[in-house]
Structure 1
């Protein structure tokens, strides 16, 4: 085994892991150069989704004018981007939102009403070498039984239900979904 220098290893890692700038970041850096300062003052790239660039404009007139020149703009942008764009969509939606991304709330499992607490002990009991379907099902059924032991029952269907669901909806999530579906159907007519 030959020893490689740190630079060689980092070069290989960069190629394998594709350590490169995200397409939107690269586009944001080059936006004013490609479209010009006047257009850049009235447009703001928002996202790239499925190779379609979404751009916010300051007015509907700007959106319409930019739509007419999107093919030319796409050719210029594709020269600067690692992956080519298939289309560009312009809209006034998103213009009022500040350009910096809002802080997103971190979602943790404990916040979900179905959270049952730490299940690390049941994960340790998993059997990686289950021979057949019957033993796999038996193992799963046993784990579900251990999990649902001492859980309160849903007043509607009598299924073991996490306490958070009962506090939130007064029934299990399945019964709650059925109630919401029935409410939506009744409100339509």
Structure 2
């Protein structure tokens, strides 16, 4: 069997139905403020598109209920933008997808968090922005090694460990699990 080229594999991937559905979802996410309006898009965002059903994350149950009443209007607006060939038949509104995304991006970790360690020195710098993939991977490895070098060593395994783990248990979490 002859190995396939990267270009042919990427071309095959872009022709897959799942990739086409994901491309449509990305397009819908970009057009959502125009479709739903500024006020609605501030409290909602499309999450998934499966078998003609669009799942939209909303900021609260009140928004889910109100948008449920406007479901047909939103479906008609999407059909007007996309055309009738790839119609959305139903829209579901859920709050769980909203909180899962915003919590990870909107709330910064506090400095007293046990995983936050003050860093000494500067990380390795990428010299030329037009680098190859192997150079970027090498830099990523250097960054990982630099980051690990910033952590105090576990007395048992001699690997870097968060300081609060060492204070709490006297060893890293991996050593605790193994013992």
Give the structure-2-normalised TM-score: 0.43
Give the structure-1-normalised TM-score: 0.41
